[in-house]
Amino acid sequence: MTPTLAIIYFSGTGHTAQLAEAIRSAASAQVTVEPHRIVGTDIVNGRFRCDKALDMIDAAAGVVFGSPTFMGGPAAEFKAFADATSDRWSTQAWRNKVAAGFTSGSCPNGDQSYTLNYFSVLAAQHGMLWCNLDLACGHNPSGLNRLGTQLGLASQGNAGVVPESDLLTAAHLGRRVADLLVRLSR
């Protein structure tokens, strides 16, 4: 059976959404991909209430977390989602799923690493297996991973424009996670 990869992300002005689409498109060659963009109506009185999104991750073999970096961490909308996963945490219902992450900021070093760090700790809380980025900045001819984060994809975009290199890095991450899911499913 073809494994399923969930992508759960928030995007305010669309940069993170462009990265999500690049991941979705690349991963789709090997696995079934189900994206969910967190929107304001998923959150009621400060709490994430979209059971459909949580059920989607229940059924997936892997998940990619995405959020812009806001004030050196994930956006409040993503954190609301993360807090809503605590029931799953208590039973370790998501243990051994593959997890990865991506983020966007407006600065080349706008503390995006802290958002990726948060994603990896969230994955660890759930007993998930973290999939990093296997791209040595400055030492691969493709020029991918231009900001040099290996925990996941850090991107930098402004005014709706995400550099091509970051979109290609997103596609690389999508292929990497999908390849891992296929290998684990054998």
Ligand X SMILES: Cc1cc2nc3c(=O)[nH]c(=O)nc-3n(C[C@H](O)[C@H](O)[C@H](O)COP(=O)(O)O)c2cc1C
| Site residues for ligand X per CB under 6 A | 11-17, 68-72, 104-107, 110-111, 157
Which residue number places its CB atom closest to ligand X?
Answer: 110
CA–CA dist 48, 32 (Å, integer): 25
Nearest residue (CB) to ligand X, 29 versus 121: 121
Nearest residue (CB) to ligand X, 15 versus 126: 15
CA–CA dist 62, 103 (Å, integer): 18
96 touches 129 (CB < 8 A): yes
Cβ 66 to ligand X, closest distance in Å? 8
Within 10 angstroms of residue 155's Cβ, the number of other Cβ atoms is: 27
9 touches 35 (CB < 8 A): yes
Cβ 107 to ligand X, closest distance in Å? 4
Numbers of helices and strands, H then E, in the chain? 6, 9
Within 10 angstroms of residue 25's Cβ, the number of other Cβ atoms is: 14
Nearest residue (CB) to ligand X, 127 versus 163: 163
Cβ 16 to ligand X, closest distance in Å? 3
Nearest residue (CB) to ligand X, 61 versus 170: 170
Cβ 71 to ligand X, closest distance in Å? 5
Nearest residue (CB) to ligand X, 3 versus 110: 110
Cβ 86 to ligand X, closest distance in Å? 25
CA–CA dist 7, 27 (Å, integer): 11
